[in-house]
Chain A
Amino acid sequence: MSEPAPAQADPPKPQLHVAPSPHLASTATTGGMMLDVLIGLLPVTVMAAYYFGLHALIQVGICVGSCMIFELMFNAMRGKPASILDGSAAVAGAILGLSMPWNAPWYAGVVGSLVAMGIGKIIFGGLGQNIFNPAMVGRTFVMISFSVSIGSAAYVVHDAPMEVVTQASPLSVAKEAAGAADLPGLWALFIGNVNGSLGETCSLACIIGGLWMVLRRSAAWRTPAGSVLGLAVISLIAQLIDPQSLTMLQHLVGGAFLFGAFFIATDPVTSPVTPRGQWIFGIGYGVLVFLIRQYSAYPEGVAFAILLMNALTPLINRWTIPTPVGGPAPALVKK
């Protein structure tokens, strides 16, 4: 908000302009931030299209389109002004689409979008009110619902036109073979020449898009930094204890970890707003990803890790209220 205009009926012009704070207005808008995220997702989408062909674009298109339609529909049902132009529905749709396997059936994207927008977002009161990341709510819903058609086994198609998808995704290999020896090389994992969900395979593109968002201040740098720190430390310890397990670098560049760290964990609505809180959120996310990959029945745990940390976010926010300049932390407001 800019300063209020002085009253027009006041004839003597004030010598000293006095107005209540805030005196500095930021130009950042929701729409601008979401546009930054979309631009950040561009390299990932391009790489997905390169590896998976038209399938990738169709999948992302379905999710973006249906997310926007459902947002429009639910807003109309609630009698609220349409919030579709702020781009948050498009971002949720893009992330949802990029977290799907290339051969996911169309209804998976549509149902995922319905759940993401309806149960993930609008039911809590719309953008800014939701507890959980909408895209991950939708993704988890369809992952559990349609485990046959988009579970980890569905990624492998032996007679597919793309060579990439004839192999199991790296983390599934690691899970089933109980060893990291059969994994593709680190370089292949880094540039994304492996099977996996559309957006997760190319770590390089995730890093480029993520850096763009961080430099534009549309994403907090502490969250991805904390994520990398958390996963690196715990997987290094695991590697030293058991050399047969996935190495630290394989954990970092394999699977959807970087995609989640840069694009999903940094969601300003569902991650902490305090600097220390962002570190805690990131580290918790990294550690949970490792634990789920290592000890659960699922090969990959990014969606669950994000949702679990989302649930902790209000608590983290309360515990990490920073000390303002010149005074102790304010007492929590009692209701």
Chain B
Amino acid sequence: MPDTGPTAGERFIQGIIPENPVLRQLLGLCPTLAVTGAMAPAMTMVGATAFVLIMANIIVALIRPLLKPHLRILVFTLTIATFVTIADRFLAAFMPGMSELLGPYVPLIIVNCMIISRCEICASKQSLPTAVADAFGVSLGFLIALGAVAGVREILGTGQFFGITLLGKGFPGWVLMIMPPGAFITLGLLLGLVNWNDQRKKKTAA
């Protein structure tokens, strides 16, 4: 299969901001909303998702000559599920507290559309180095998005960042920000900010 499409470098750069999975493609919103109450669980989630994404992209890129068009989604899902199980068991074994905190959201990485879309768009069509670069780029994009949401929510909600008190003892936490409505408000404002920046760039370019 010939490797036509963006090069590895382009894939890597595109995944970070121009095609950011959360902020541009609105994929992977479930973990973005659910586990961003604080930085620590959000970063653990990013780590687990990045591991699954990179490994799935590697495997899919390696077996892409064998893929049959009508069976490919099934193969993607099984590949992803394998690595999600590894990640889930790893967390349960070595970070039991975090595993309990994340609850069902680690197994739910299986249905994270961000990963299957990368398998479909990039890994099943392009060579191994490109697929790996793509996975790293998208993972970085996911890191930026989750870090932004979780950072705002943790700082406003508790006055802390990674559990380190940032705003002093007297700061009254805005408890709502670490509750589900805070996730929607923060993500909404963040998407608005990204869109506003896009429009501004278009205007200056035109």
Contact = CB atoms under 8 A, between A and B. Distances in A.
Contacts of A111: 174
A123 B177 CA distance: 18
B172 interface: yes
Query: What secondary structure prevails in chain B residues at the interface with A?
Result: helix
A144 B185 CA distance: 14
Given A105-B172, A107-B172, A145 B185 contact: no
A144 B192 CA distance: 25
Contacts of A123: 189, 192
Interface residues of A, number: 11
Interface string B173-200: 1111101010001000100100000000
A149 B172 contact: yes
A146 B176 CA distance: 8
Contacts of A144: 175-176, 179, 181
Contacts of A141: 174, 176
A101 to B, nearest CB: 15
B169 to A, nearest CB: 14
Contacts of B176: 141, 144-145
Contacts of B185: 119
Contacts of B172: 105, 107, 145-146, 149
> Nearest 4 CB-CB pairs, A to B?
A145-B174, A145-B176, A144-B176, A145-B175
Interface of A: 105, 107, 111, 119, 123, 141, 144-147, 149
23 contacts: A105-B172, A107-B172, A111-B174, A119-B185, A123-B189, A123-B192, A141-B174, A141-B176, A144-B175, A144-B176, A144-B179, A144-B181, A145-B172, A145-B173, A145-B174, A145-B175, A145-B176, A145-B177, A146-B172, A146-B174, A146-B175, A147-B175, A149-B172
Interface of B: 172-177, 179, 181, 185, 189, 192
Given A141-B176, A145-B175, A145-B176, 4 more contacts: A119-B185, A144-B175, A144-B176, A144-B179
